[in-house]
């Protein structure tokens, strides 16, 4: 019962985040880029429920719009990484041989580097920007999906239904897409849930370092960075984007853990 409750709470938080991000132009009370130096570092007012930053920009509006950046980066990273990982893992697991050795050694090399350091190095070379952040995160993100797909296909390719499809003359791509891939969807979905949380944290980290989205575009990581120097006099600058980031990642991990437990309980 407790597990179900946490799952529903996590799902509700994610639905709320997605709704706020999609409806940001209507939900945000102010333009997130509009400056008002007469109202800088306001902690609370009827016009600014969560206060303002050093340039008088509304924190609530910037936090809502910052969710858009986090979701866009996370979803794009997961989708691109999934596509690359599924393709590489399927080829490696189904055909084996030299192709398997080549792809898995490439995966080993990439996984030997700390992911966030590799992303920092790449974005430092390419420069800040959301497209560069997504590219940097996908460079290392696909390896986990490739290993997962390869392992699952190695355990499935000798099953009776796959042998029957081969005997009927099905081509390898048809066997992979029509017979093997449906069995891979549950573990891939769970892995994608954790991958989305990791991508959101990584985007926040890069934006905090000034390597993410370019200012004045609001991002939770850049808002945390902007509020560092005012921690003692205006802690609200970092409190609200920090809470938004924390609850989003927590909700994704709770949902992922619950789905993983259910999948393991159904596995014979």
CATH code for position 86: 1.10.3720.10
- pLDDT tens digits, 89-111: 988 988 888 888 999 999 988 88
151-159: long-range contacts at Cβ-Cβ below 8 A with a sequence spacing of 24 or more? Answer: 151/93, 152/93, 152/180, 152/183, 152/184, 152/187, 153/89, 153/90, 153/93, 153/94, 153/180, 153/184, 154/93, 156/180, 156/183, 157/93, 157/94
- pLDDT tens digits, 116-164: 888 888 888 888 888 889 998 998 899 999 999 998 888 887 777 777 8
pLDDT of residue 266: 63
More confident residue, 101 or 115: 101
Q: What is the value of pTM for the model shown?
A: 0.91
- The answer, yes or no, to whether residue 70 has pLDDT greater than 80, is yes
pLDDT of residue 210: 87
Average pLDDT, stretch 172-198?
86
Number of domains the chain is built from: 1
Query: CA-to-CA distance for 152 and 187, rounded, in angstroms?
Result: 9
Domain enclosing residue 10, as ranges: 2-266
Query: CA-to-CA distance for 205 and 120, rounded, in angstroms?
Result: 9
């Amino acid at each position: 019962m407790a597990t179900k409750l946490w799952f529903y709470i996590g799902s509700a938080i994610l639905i709320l985040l997605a709704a706020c991000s999609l409806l940001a132009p209507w939900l945000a009370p102010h333009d997130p880029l509009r400056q008002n130096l007469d109202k800088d570092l306001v902690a609370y007012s009827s016009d600014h429920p969560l206060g303002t930053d050093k340039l008088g920009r509304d924190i609530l509006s910037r936090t809502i719009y910052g969710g858009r950046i986090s979701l866009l980066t996370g979803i794009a990273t997961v989708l691109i990484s999934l596509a690359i990982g599924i393709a590489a893992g399927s080829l490696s697991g189904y055909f084996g041989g030299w192709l398997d050795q080549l792809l898995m050694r490439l995966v080993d090399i990439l996984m030997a580097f700390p992911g966030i350091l590799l992303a920092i190095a790449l974005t430092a070379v390419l420069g800040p920007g959301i497209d560069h952040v997504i590219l940097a995160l996908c460079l290392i993100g696909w390896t986990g999906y490739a290993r997962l797909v390869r392992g699952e296909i190695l355990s499935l390719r000798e099953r009776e239904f796959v042998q029957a499809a081969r005997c009927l003359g099905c081509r390898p791509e048809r066997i992979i897409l029509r017979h093997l891939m449906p069995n891979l969807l549950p573990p891939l979905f769970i892995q994608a849930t954790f991958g989305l949380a990791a991508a959101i944290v990584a985007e926040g980290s890069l934006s905090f370092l000034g390597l993410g989205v370019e200012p004045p575009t609001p991002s939770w990581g850049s808002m945390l960075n902007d509020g560092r120097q005012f921690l003692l006099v205006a802690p609200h600058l970092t409190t609200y984007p920090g809470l938004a980031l924390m609850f989003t990642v927590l909700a994704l991990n709770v949902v992922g853990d619950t789905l993983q437990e259910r999948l393991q309980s159904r596995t014979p």
